[in-house]
């Protein structure tokens, strides 16, 4: 279950943000898929949590959009995390057409539980 945080500059259009909100759950799920948490291409509530935050006047960043992905640590994810984040960046660029953005993939040791 990835948690996706998107921070964006005030200049980013609502159309771009809407497209990201539609594309990111699937693209991130593909990027973090592993034997321990396979992706069945049928996202259900809680499978991918996404949050958007506009940058405030005291935030700093040179990119229009920063996407932070946190997904539970598994050795199979960690072994090729750099390739995963590179592929995710390319897939987002292709799907949404972004040019000024970065992706940060974090794999913390964590646990998750949710109600049915």
Of all residues in the chain, the percent with pLDDT exceeding 70 is 100
Mean pLDDT of 41-46: 88
Q: Residue 61's pLDDT is what?
A: 82
Q: Report the 3 state secondary structure along the chain.
A: CCEEEEEECCCCCHHHHHHHHHHHHHHHHHHHCECCECCCCCCCCCCCEEEEEECCCCCCCCCCEEEEEECCCCHHHHHCHHHHHHHHHHHHHHHHCCCCEEEEEECCCCCCCCCC
How does pLDDT run across 70-107, given as a tens digit for each residue?
999 999 999 999 999 999 999 999 999 998 999 999 99
Q: Residue 111's pLDDT is what?
A: 78
Q: Residue 8's pLDDT is what?
A: 97
Confidence band of 113 (pLDDT split at 50, 70, 90)? confident
| 94-100 contact pairs (CB < 8 A, 24+) | 95/19, 95/23, 95/27, 96/16, 96/19, 96/20, 96/23, 98/16, 98/64, 98/65, 99/64, 100/63, 100/64, 100/65
């Amino acid at each position: 279950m990835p948690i996706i945080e998107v921070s964006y500059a005030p200049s980013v259009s609502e159309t771009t943000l809407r497209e990201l909100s539609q594309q990111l759950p699937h693209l991130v799920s593909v990027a973090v898929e592993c034997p321990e948490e396979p992706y069945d291409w049928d996202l259900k509530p809680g499978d991918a949590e996404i949050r958007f935050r506009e940058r405030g006047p005291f935030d700093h960043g040179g990119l229009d959009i920063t996407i932070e992905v946190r997904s539970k640590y598994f050795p199979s994810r960690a072994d090729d995390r750099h390739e995963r984040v590179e592929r995710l960046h390319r897939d987002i660029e292709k799907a949404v057409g972004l040019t000024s953005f970065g992706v940060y993939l974090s794999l913390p040791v964590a646990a998750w539980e949710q109600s049915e």
